[in-house]
Structure 1
Amino acid sequence: MGIFKKFLKREKIRERLFVLSIDGLPHSFLAEPSGRMLMPNLAAVTASGAMGRMNSVLPTVSSVAWASYATGVNPGKHGIFGFVDRVPSPFATWVPTARDLKAPTLWELIGRTGKEVGVINVPLTYPPRQVNGFMVACFLSPDLASATYPPELTPQLLELDYRIEAESALAGHDQNAYLADLQDTMARRFKAAFQLIHSQSWDFFHLHVMGSDRVNHFHWGSWEDNAPGAAGFENFYRRLDSYIGELTEHLPPGCRLMILSEHGFTRAKGNVFVNRWLEENGYLLFGRGRKELKNMHPDSRAYSLVPGRIYINLEGREERGRVNAGKAYEDLRDELIHRLAALCHPETGQPVVEAVLRREEIYSGPHTSRAADLIIAPAAGFDLKANLSAPAVVRPPDLGGVHTYDDAFLFIQSAAALPAHNTFSIIDVTPTILKIMNIAAPQSMDGRVLL
């Protein structure tokens, strides 16, 4: 009888969810034998549930994708449209942060139910919001003290020698040192995460790995060709895989694991300088003085921000607006769509543009009017740039790899199946997480439950 009473007094296993995000890791990489051999622990983990190939967002950059994940809504509702945004009048550019998110985040929604959260390094979490739990913000953070909520967590992270980001200045002159620094930063991040798993109370924990995106940008092509740089690429992923193996040992009983990326990667084929094309074709004009967008000539009709976002120089909206609203605006959009869609590599004849989309075709919500008037989806391997000093419209790539829209991945432990490949997107992950945690998703969410 005493044994029976002891059994009744046992604490119920706490149902928890741990999310590991690996920035820019493609589904195709994990589906290939070479990728599974490089990451055997990840391969073993993904055999314990369902994995699918997932679409990202447009434009396919981390800030927009992770904002969409964090909120479960499209950019027209959450208000993040690129790594850089602009004020139309007077013209100025700025870098969006978590302050600019216009929709409630996943960690806030979970916290409102009384459940506790832990978030580490997820893009667009700086400055950290007050959550029911703890948060260590992303690479936009200027220092650790300003990255941490609650502030009392900072000394513990300092003691662990936690680093917000690898030293990016190394990338330009010493790739071996940069790769070593990326591994060191990752090691410290996992060390901190493993300690916080045990020392903090949580129901939802999201740990983000950023170094994979950096490695892929510089060394994806080298890895495909088994060229110099391939060894550093492989060493990084072997190290990451070893931490995934450790992670599974640290997770408490009853904890479910989800792993995902927000976009894929492919070999870089070239850079496409959109403002150069606009200038060559008479849409973007400059007079005397320094060549900057804020100094464009009033007769300009369009300009671009990275990556591939085109703004019409609209009268009444832009500082020196020239194009009338209505028919003139729509005619110019039609003209640009037609001409840009036909843009090809000057030497190979290969198309460099997959599609040119009107903002209302891909966004909806109260902030859609702040989006670019046209969004270019590049052909695979081409990177859309906004530099004003490029010597030509299409130039050789300066990196080894670039983002892809249709090759992100999602794994959910213990799930029987996910929808067919590329029939769902990162926006669908948010309501799925809420479903796993038995929390009702707000009706304003765009995503759908995948299980």
Structure 2
Amino acid sequence: MGLPGIARVIIVGLDGLDPTILDEQLAAGALPHFAALREQGGYGRVATTLPAQTPVAWSSFATGTNPGGHGIFDFVNRDPKTYRLELALNRYERPGVFQLPRVVNLRRGVPFWSALSERGIPSSVIRCPCTYPPDEIEGRMLSGMGVPDLRGGFGTGTYYTSAGGVVAGEAERVVPLPGTGPGPIETVILGPIHPRTRGETRVPIVLEDAAEEGRMILRSPGDPESLVLERGRWSDWLRVTFRMGLLQSVRGLVRFLLVERGPDRVALYCSPIQFDPEAPPFPISHPDSFAGDLSRAIGPFHTTGLPEDHAALSNGRISESAFLHQCEDLWREREAMFEHELGRFESGMLYCLFGIPDRIQHLFWRYRDAGHAANRGRPMVAEHRQAIAEAYRRSDAQVGRALEAADDRTLVIALSDHGFGSFRRGVDLNKWLYENGLLAVHDGEEAGDPEGPPLGRIDWSRTKAYSIGLGGIFLNLRGREGEGVVDPEEAEALKGAIADALGGLEDPVTEAVAVRSVVARERVYSGPFVEEAPDLLVRFGSGYRSSWGSAMGHVGDSVFEDNVRIWAGDHIIDPVLVPGILLMNRPFRSDDASLLDLAPTVLDAFAMARTSEMEGRSLLR
């Protein structure tokens, strides 16, 4: 039986909240609503997935299965026949020459909201990862992580500058500005690729100085035609239309940050182009009209799956203050969505994800770790020392809003998908494979070009194993990979040899254990999609993670490297080191809770048995 009289379930998803920090804040009395929720029901840690990665973990939350049951193992995958890297969350297919492309969600399995729909129980799902395209459910859904920008990436911004010699960084385009005199500056917004010409579509814009110092006016054929830019502040949204053909066009939303306007220098940052929620090129909500209705109710909003402009901060294009100001806007955006749905929530299940804590911890962890290499040459800004603590207090406010909306027939759940820690040193798995004779590069090349194509310098005829993603190793298996050399009958012995040699790997500089263990996929995954997983999974020790280059299939200069990037915190380590948090306003079994238990728990609250695919069990009994 379910909980007596339960008619509603509210789930507050808080990406990346760490139990150690939560405990610190609870002890300090800074989180009154978390404390109230703990007193009403209980509080515990929740086991995350391997890897402890946002799309993997929330997919297991939704389906109640391990990754082998839903098919999401990382942000990236590869085409084994061509070794081309691919996004692992969704793909685009064109059924026929004269048919429009469609999006396919690569998260399989049956999410619990679909099971609820079969019983006529409505759900409202706001921004859950791996819901693009959205599931057709009884109720409403707004897609989350997986929605690209209009150019097709996770978030490609544009940096305009009058300075010469500026090289594009991660996930960005650089557009040189023609001049810095008193007259207008003409340039363009770079849009999606034209399907026929394969060139970038463009929208013209003109930058003019305003009467006030530190301001400019951006004029365009968009809406509004004139947009005020103020140095150091994000602009309002600009709605622009890109012409894709004689009768085709696509609309997008952008914001700008005027970085600098001096007598001899102009620098301007343009956000990734968001789908216009009132006219998206592909569905981002169910029903289709929901995104537009929401936009008209609360105003335009970010639609990309990773809306925080973390690459712009990492590339030094925007300041930490500008990033936090954007996060403040995103808090208000998501709170408005949550409030909108709570206002008409009468029965069923409501889930809303707040992803901002995860990104703030990634980029402000250096303030918790004074000895981090990311602090070299970077000032410690006093007002940013509390950025992470403030994200927890803001999360507490969302829990408070859920409790305020709850009655005695409402189950309230606050949940994070994983915890957090410092990312001090990178481990180049491909370099380790290279040094151990398992990976080869073409003759005359010491290591792969970090600016070259992923996996582009590897000599497959002499390579037995390679790594992509945040801790996965693939065998170059004959019959599976396009140029495979490892006989299938040798695979198990090779996997065992790699696991034995790499497991327990120590960092010679710190003498710490960088790799706690390496496990074969069959030991941790089960289900219909296991064959899509990496052959081996690496469990990193505290402070370590797959290096930046190795994650994209490159071969670096050394196995170990300091992580000097501002992305100083992470969670892709041994999952036992980074559990999430779980609180409910009803007593529950908290001693061995897992993300796999949440789907059966929600079904049990509505007196429904778990589906045959679900592996977890209800925490209510």
TM-score of the pair, normalised by structure 2: 0.67
Q: Tell me what 1:82 maps to.
A: 74
Q: Partners of 2:488 and 2:311 in 1: how far apart?
A: 44
Q: Tell me what 1:5 maps to.
A: none
User: Would the alpha carbon gap of residues 151 and 253 (structure 1) be closer, same or farther in structure 2, given more than 3 Å must change?
Assistant: farther
Q: Tell me what 1:150 maps to.
A: 287
User: Would the alpha carbon gap of residues 287 and 219 (structure 1) be closer, same or farther in structure 2, given more than 3 Å must change?
Assistant: same
Once the two structures are superposed, the pairs formed by residues 307-326 of structure 1 within 5 Å of their partners are: 307-326=470-489
State which drifts further: 286-295 or 132-141. 286-295
Give the conservation status (yes or no) of the 8 Å contact 1:97–1:127: no
Give the conservation status (yes or no) of the 8 Å contact 1:284–1:296: yes
Deviations 1:358-377 (A, max 9, x none): 11100111211221111011
SS of residue in 2 equivalent to 1:192: helix
Q: Tell me what 1:53 maps to.
A: 45
**Given the alignment of the two structures, is residue 140 of structure 1 paired with residue 146 of structure 2, yes or no?**
yes
User: Would the alpha carbon gap of residues 36 and 247 (structure 1) be closer, same or farther in structure 2, given more than 3 Å must change?
Assistant: farther
Q: Tell me what 2:62 maps to.
A: 70
Query: Which of 570, 576, 581 is 1:402 aligned to?
Result: 570
The CA deviation at 1:395 is 1.3
The CA deviation at 1:223 is 3.3
**Given the alignment of the two structures, is residue 418 of structure 1 paired with residue 563 of structure 2, yes or no?**
no
Q: Partners of 2:431 and 2:453 in 1: how far apart?
A: 12
SS of residue in 2 equivalent to 1:267: strand
Q: Tell me what 1:429 maps to.
A: 598
State which drifts further: 393-402 or 206-215. 393-402
**Given the alignment of the two structures, is residue 167 of structure 1 paired with residue 309 of structure 2, yes or no?**
yes
Once the two structures are superposed, the pairs formed by residues 211-360 of structure 1 within 5 Å of their partners are: 211-223=356-368, 228=381, 229-251=384-406, 254-287=409-442, 292-293=454-455, 296-297=458-459, 298-326=461-489, 328-360=490-522
SS of residue in 1 equivalent to 2:337: helix
Residue identity opposite 1:139 in structure 2: M
Q: Partners of 1:433 and 1:193 in 2: how far apart?
A: 19
The CA deviation at 1:427 is 0.9
Query: Which of 333, 339, 349 is 1:194 aligned to?
Result: 339
* Aligned residue-pair number: 436
The CA deviation at 1:240 is 3.0
The CA deviation at 1:250 is 3.1
Once the two structures are superposed, the pairs formed by residues 13-52 of structure 1 within 5 Å of their partners are: 15-33=7-25, 37-52=29-44
State which drifts further: 177-186 or 155-164. 155-164
SS of residue in 1 equivalent to 2:462: coil
Higher helix proportion: 1
Give the conservation status (yes or no) of the 8 Å contact 1:97–1:125: no
Q: Partners of 2:88 and 2:347 in 1: how far apart?
A: 29
Q: CA RMSD in A?
A: 2.3
Q: Partners of 1:190 and 1:176 in 2: how far apart?
A: 21
Deviations 1:269-321 (A, max 9, x none): 31111112112222111216956425521210000111111101111111110
Residue identity opposite 2:394 in structure 1: R
Query: Which of 526, 530, 533 is 1:368 aligned to?
Result: 530
State which drifts further: 32-41 or 71-80. 32-41
Q: Partners of 2:116 and 2:28 in 1: how far apart?
A: 33
**Given the alignment of the two structures, is residue 111 of structure 1 paired with residue 111 of structure 2, yes or no?**
no
Q: Partners of 1:246 and 1:419 in 2: how far apart?
A: 23
SS of residue in 1 equivalent to 2:323: helix
Give the conservation status (yes or no) of the 8 Å contact 2:45–2:590: no
Q: Partners of 1:36 and 1:254 in 2: how far apart?
A: 31
Residue identity opposite 1:301 in structure 2: K
Higher strand proportion: 2
Q: Tell me what 2:84 maps to.
A: 92
Identify which of structures 1 and 2 has the higher relative contact order when contacts are C-alpha pairs closer than 8 Å and 6+ apart. Answer: 1
SS of residue in 1 equivalent to 2:332: helix
SS of residue in 1 equivalent to 2:328: helix
Structure 1, gaps ≥5 residues long? 1-11
Query: Which of 342, 352, 355 is 1:210 aligned to?
Result: 355
Residue identity over aligned pairs, in percent, reads 28
The CA deviation at 1:14 is 6.7
Give the conservation status (yes or no) of the 8 Å contact 1:68–1:78: yes
Structure 2, gaps ≥5 residues long? 91-104, 149-274, 372-379, 446-451
Q: Tell me what 2:618 maps to.
A: 449
The CA deviation at 1:158 is 1.5
SS of residue in 2 equivalent to 1:247: helix
The CA deviation at 1:253 is 5.5
Give the conservation status (yes or no) of the 8 Å contact 2:504–2:517: no
Give the conservation status (yes or no) of the 8 Å contact 2:7–2:347: no
Residue identity opposite 1:175 in structure 2: E
Deviations 1:239-283 (A, max 9, x none): 332333233223455221001111110122311111121122221
Give the conservation status (yes or no) of the 8 Å contact 1:75–1:363: yes
Residue identity opposite 1:186 in structure 2: W
Deviations 1:141-174 (A, max 9, x none): 2423332211222233212123332333442221
Q: Tell me what 1:7 maps to.
A: none
Q: Partners of 2:464 and 2:484 in 1: how far apart?
A: 8
Give the conservation status (yes or no) of the 8 Å contact 1:130–1:150: yes
TM-score of the pair, normalised by structure 1: 0.90
Q: Partners of 1:131 and 1:308 in 2: how far apart?
A: 34
User: Would the alpha carbon gap of residues 352 and 35 (structure 1) be closer, same or farther in structure 2, given more than 3 Å must change?
Assistant: farther
The CA deviation at 1:92 is 2.1
Give the conservation status (yes or no) of the 8 Å contact 1:275–1:284: yes
Q: Partners of 2:604 and 2:26 in 1: how far apart?
A: 34
Q: Partners of 2:398 and 2:590 in 1: how far apart?
A: 29
SS of residue in 2 equivalent to 1:57: coil
The CA deviation at 1:444 is 2.2
Residue identity opposite 1:176 in structure 2: S
Flag the structure with larger Rg.
2
User: Would the alpha carbon gap of residues 54 and 246 (structure 1) be closer, same or farther in structure 2, given more than 3 Å must change?
Assistant: closer
Give the conservation status (yes or no) of the 8 Å contact 1:302–1:313: yes
The CA deviation at 1:32 is 2.6
